[in-house]
Structure formats: structure tokens, C-alpha cells
Structure 1
Amino acid sequence: MNWQRGLSIILRLHINHAKRRNSPRLAVRTYTMESSKHPEVKRVLVTGASGYVATGIVNDLLNKGYLVRGTVRSLKNPGKVKPLKSMAEGKPGKLELVEADLMKPETWKSAVSGCSHVLHTASPFPFVQPKNAEEVIRPAVDGTISVLEACKQDGNIKRVVVTSSIAAVGMNHTTKPLNENDWSDPSHGGAEAEPYCISKLMAEKAAFEYVEKLSDKDKFEICTVLPGYVIGPTLTDQVSTSLDIIKRVMVGGDLMVPDVSFTFVDIRDVVDAHVQCMTSPKAPGERYLIVDKILGYSEVCKILSDEFYPQGYSIYTRIAPRFLISLMSLFDNTAKTMNIIWGVICEYDNTKLKTELGIKPRDTRKGVVDMAYSLIDNGYIEKKAQYKGRSSDKQ
């Protein structure tokens, strides 16, 4: 046996042994192999890393072997930091966390330093609209500009992916499906005049306008991802608006439900879209609607009731009278929001999602159920005595 063949056998035995032991050295090799697919991606900054969508993105990037830097407002907040650190353990990629705040422009210079790509997900998303719209609008718009300004000053950022929303395309009645060429018009009132919708519209427009005005030497690539209402499994037990709505249904928070509908999308599709936009040659300058199908609130309740009523959860499905919600909206902000979007049906065209990003949307009905299970399993919703878990888990 010649020495080359002997060395080859030894290396194969070493690699197989390392796989069985989950060796750290193998993790480094996996990172090198994965990153070689996109060598232009040196380090990815994910803003608002502890958020519902952001944790999914961070987890996916780590699984793919990327170097990831996540921002949180405070490294002293164990509720935000500990789940991220735990999630990173044993992954082929590496995670570091830094402090940065949307309302503190000076914190972003060091956050972007050493990164090549930025996924900007951080933005306020209140379920109950604030009395002062600026509480939502200013962090969204000013925070986005602060991140982009830091990218310009750094000079090494190749691409920024901004998380926008279907709210920036339109949320009122339409005669045809809206697409990426459409923009919300708050002057129409209704759902589009809500502070959150205005904040997403203004932040996305501000981002494109900012990059457009940059000189050639300062310019970097930008694209935006516009998800619908995001559902699907959560990786942590952190509070978020998206999770709170499903929790409210699961704990029987309302005896009757409003006649409202949402355009849903599975979080796993949203994560895939962000990562695809980070490297796709088609993405620069583009907007991508990330949506699946429209489900009524009562339909969501029915889906959850069918799955969880036998497991001890009482979920109400009866639709409330409109006059009752209108009356409640005079003194309840949640009811006010529901009253604004009552009966609103708005369709969106997801052709670009499928043709340019190659993503076939998952079944959002399954995503609703998956989300509820994850909330129970992560302790966000009480586990009832009759709870048996997913039937697939028992097989």
C-alpha cells in the first residue's frame, strides 16, 4: 500500500470518527464547505436577531454554515440572548451577538463592521396600534436609515435585504391581485392608514431612495422582502405580536371572533426568501411579495379547534356582530384595529416568489397548527392535561 492511499484511508477514518463524535473540527470543515457556495458572503448581520422571523433566519444561516452577527438592544437581557446562544450550539456556523438600537444611530457603525451582507429585520410591530403613530413610524424609518448610513460609511457591504410587509403594497379592497409594482396609499384611509402600515411603507420607500441617491463609489445592492401575516413554528418562547394573536385564540381570549381575514405565509418560506435574496443575482433592486393564501380569522379558529379541542383547548369560532365591534372600538384599540379591517379582502400575486426565488409556498393551514404546537412545546401556552402533542410525533 503506497503512502498516498494510506493517508487517504486514515483521513476517511478520522472524518467518520469525527462525525460520530460531532467533533468541533468537523463543524469547521462543514462551514468551509458550505460557505464555498457563496464565497462573497463573509459575515451576515441580522438586525433584531431575537425577533420571531429573525430567529428563524439566524437558525437557517447557522445550519448552512455562515458566520452570523445578530443585534439585540441589550446583551444583559437573558430572555433575548440565551435562546439565541442555545440555538447556535452544535451548528456548523458561528454566532456572535452585539448591541444596537434603532433609535441610536451611533450603535450601528460597529455592528456592520466586518460584515458583507445585512438582513435588516428589526422594526416595531404592535398588534394594538399606539395613540401616537410616531412611536411606530420613527423607529422603523429612522432605524432603517441608520443601518443604511452605517453600511455606506463602512464601505464593505455588498447587499442589504430589508424586511418590509404587504402593508407597503396595499391592504384595502382591490379589484385585482396586487403585485410588487403597487404601493400603499395612506390617503385612502382604512387599513392603509394604520401607523404600522404607514411605517412599513415609509421605511421601504426611504430605503430605496437612500440607496438610489448614493454615489457610485458608495452604492451597495438592496432588495426588499414583503411577507404577509407570518405563521409557523417559533424557535423560542419570546413574546411577539404574531405569536400573541394565535395565543389569544388558543386560550379562548374572545368569546366571539371578528369577521376579518389575513393573507398568511409560513415563516419557513419567509426565512427561505431572505436567504435567497441575500445571494440571488436577480434580487438587487427588486421587491418580493412573500404570501400564500387568505384565511378568515374564524377559519383559523376552526383549524385550531379541530386539532386542539380534543386536547383540552376551548377555542371559539362564532363570528361577532359588526355593531358590537364598532361599539367596542370606541374604547378598545384592539377592537378599533379589527373594525378597520372588517371584511377587507385583498389578494396578492406571488409569481416572483415562485419564479425568481424558486420557492413554492407551504400550506399555511398546516403552518397555523405547527405554530400552536410550538407555542405549547416552548411554554408560551399552558400545556393542558389532555395534551398529547402531534400525532406524527407519536409514530
Structure 2
Amino acid sequence: MNKSLVVVTGGSGFIAIHIINQLLQQGYRVRTTVRSLTKTAIIREMLTNTGITDFTDLEIVTADLTSDENWNNIMKGAIYVIDVASPTPKLNFKHKEEMIIPAVEGVRRVLSASRDAGVKRVVLTSAYGAIFAGHSHRTTPYTEKDWSDLNWENIHPYQESKTRAEMAAWRFIKDEGQGLELSVINPVAVMGPVLSAKYSHSNGQIKEFLTGEVKAVPNVDSGYVDVRDVASLHVIAMTNPAAKGERFLATTGETLSMLDVSNILRTAFPAF
């Protein structure tokens, strides 16, 4: 059986590992990138925790979003690419370019190598941060037609990086794609099964509530979505003809305040 090859970038990430799990379960071959092969053990541990026992169809290779090295080789033979790797929110950054430049250049590297290798479609993991920022007085629901306002003086570098990276992706497809297809997923805060001791940014917020690291409840509302649904959406967008050229806002459709979250956790985990 000639199984289709899918390249997944950033394979040790929270969303990526759930995507890899679903791809392997569905019979695809997966080649995933990491910055260092020291991540191999944690990837296998997390996949084992999802029930994967056979790693025959999994290949782990090194690549860095900040370097051109190896990307062309990585894309050889791939039918689809799911580009998840991107800088995550950092509290200790000196300049916003530390997040923005790698995100934009990384997307261009992946798309360029995908195009040159004859990949059919790339699915890019963007974020809700590329949709809502800078619209504080909004009274109607956000949709996939909305974009964050890059002129807003308080935009967080993470939100700016996601916005600029996604804009760069659509621009590449239009001007340089040469038939390469693109679909984009824009998740809100992503929750779900933690498969190792490594916490994602969103799950880390919940951990901080449970451990008492958060001393007061911030006056913030957030949308939430299950990581398994986000992974499934990526896989569907990869092959569904109707997903070509589309953005998908991944959310449950409801928001919760941090107080709502705290009360849910208090009820579910009274020992904390």
C-alpha cells in the first residue's frame, strides 16, 4: 500500500502531536520536523500516550524556521504539509521582532519548499490572534473575514506575529504559489489532553490556576476549543476540496471569563 506522506512542522508541539496521532491512525505516513533530535523521545512518549504503538510510518527530522537548510529535502515526496511550528507567546522578549521575524520567514520557507516539491496543499496553523486584536469595541461576532489591526498600539507581539505570518502566507500563494493550495486554521485558546510534562501556553494557564500561581482572577474573557477537534479540523482541511483558499475560526462559539474558569476548576478539583 502506497501511503500518502504528510509533513508536519514542529512535531513536539501540543497541537502538532494530536495532528500526528490522527494522521497515523488514519493510515498516513508522517515526516515531522523538530529543531533538535533530542525531541524524538518526547514525541514517541506522547504518541504512546495516545495509543500509538507502531512508529514505522513516522519519520522525525531536523529543521529550523530561521534557516533554509534541509527544507527542500524534507518536502520531497510529500502530498500535503501541515505547518504548525511558530514562535509561542514569550513574556521575556527584548524586541517584538524576536517573535515576528521567525514567524513570517518561517512561513515563507515552508511554502516555498512545498511549492518547489510539488506539494498539493499546505494547512497553516494561524490563531484567533490574527483575527480579533485591536477591535475592543466590537459588538458583533468575529468571523474569518476579520483581521487584527496591526496599527493598534497595544497589539501583543504574538498576535502581530500570527497576523503578519498569515498575511505573508496568503500573499505568497497569490503572487508566488504557482498552484499551491492553502487552508488556514485560526484556533482560540486550545485545551485538551496533556500527553507529557510539557505544557502548552493555554494549558499552562489552567495549571497556574490549580497551583495557586495566579493570585487574582484577571478580568479577561476567552474562547476555548478542544485540541482533538483542532487536530481533526487540520486533517479535514488538508483533503477537503471546499477548504481550498479558506480560513477556519476554530472555537466552541462560547466564551468564558477567567472567573468562570476558576469556578469550573474549583468544582471539578476541590482538593486544589
Matched residue, 1:209 = 171
User: SS in structure 2 opposite 1:275?
Assistant: helix
Give me the CA root mean square deviation: 2.0
Work out whether 1:280 is the aligned partner of 2:235.
no
Distance 2:260 2:124 in 1: 31
User: SS in structure 2 opposite 1:263?
Assistant: strand
Deviations 1:129-177 (A, max 9, x none): 62310111111110010111111222x2000000001111113321211
**Post-superposition offset of 1:82:** 4.0
Distance 1:249 1:55 in 2: 24
**Post-superposition offset of 1:90:** 2.6
Work out whether 1:300 is the aligned partner of 2:261.
yes
Q: 1:246 to 1:258 in 2, by over 3 A?
A: same
**Post-superposition offset of 1:106:** 1.7
**Post-superposition offset of 1:93:** 7.2
Any stretches of 5+ residues in structure 1 without a counterpart? Answer: 1-31, 36-40, 314-395
Specify the code of the residue in structure 2 equivalent to 1:242.
S
Matched residue, 1:146 = 109
Contact 1:80–1:238 (8 Å) recurs in 2: no
Return the TM-score normalized by structure 1. Answer: 0.64
Q: 1:254 to 1:90 in 2, by over 3 A?
A: closer
Contact 1:141–1:203 (8 Å) recurs in 2: yes
Contact 1:73–1:99 (8 Å) recurs in 2: yes
Bigger Cα displacement from structure 2, 134-143 vs 83-92:
83-92
Alignment of 1:159-198 (within 5 A): 159-171=121-133, 172-173=135-136, 174-190=138-154, 193-198=155-160
Distance 2:58 2:213 in 1: 38
Distance 1:85 1:270 in 2: 17
Specify the code of the residue in structure 2 equivalent to 1:57.
I
Higher relative contact order (CA 8 A, sep 6+): 2
Matched residue, 1:133 = 96
Deviations 1:192-230 (A, max 9, x none): x11000101000010011111126xx3211110000011
Distance 2:265 2:172 in 1: 43
Contact 1:85–1:95 (8 Å) recurs in 2: no
Higher normalized strand content (fraction of residues): 2
Give me the identity figure in percent. 38
Q: 1:283 to 1:78 in 2, by over 3 A?
A: closer
**Post-superposition offset of 1:77:** 3.8
Specify the code of the residue in structure 2 equivalent to 1:307.
A
Deviations 1:62-99 (A, max 9, x none): 11111111111111345544425646843597211111
Specify the code of the residue in structure 2 equivalent to 1:147.
V
Return the TM-score normalized by structure 2. Answer: 0.92
Contact 2:11–2:43 (8 Å) recurs in 1: no
Alignment of 1:334-353 (within 5 A): none
Specify the code of the residue in structure 1 equivalent to 2:62.
E
Contact 2:21–2:47 (8 Å) recurs in 1: no
Work out whether 1:253 is the aligned partner of 2:217.
no
Matched residue, 2:26 = 64
Q: 1:93 to 1:267 in 2, by over 3 A?
A: farther
Distance 2:92 2:217 in 1: 19
Bigger Cα displacement from structure 2, 177-186 vs 239-248:
239-248
Specify the code of the residue in structure 1 equivalent to 2:147.
W
Q: Could you list the structure 1 runs, at least 4 aligned residues long, displaced by more than 6 angstroms after superposition.
A: none
Bigger Cα displacement from structure 2, 165-174 vs 78-87:
78-87
Matched residue, 1:83 = 45
Higher normalized helix content (fraction of residues): 1
Work out whether 1:124 is the aligned partner of 2:87.
yes
Alignment of 1:257-272 (within 5 A): 257-272=217-232
Over alpha carbons, which structure has the higher Rg?
Answer: 1
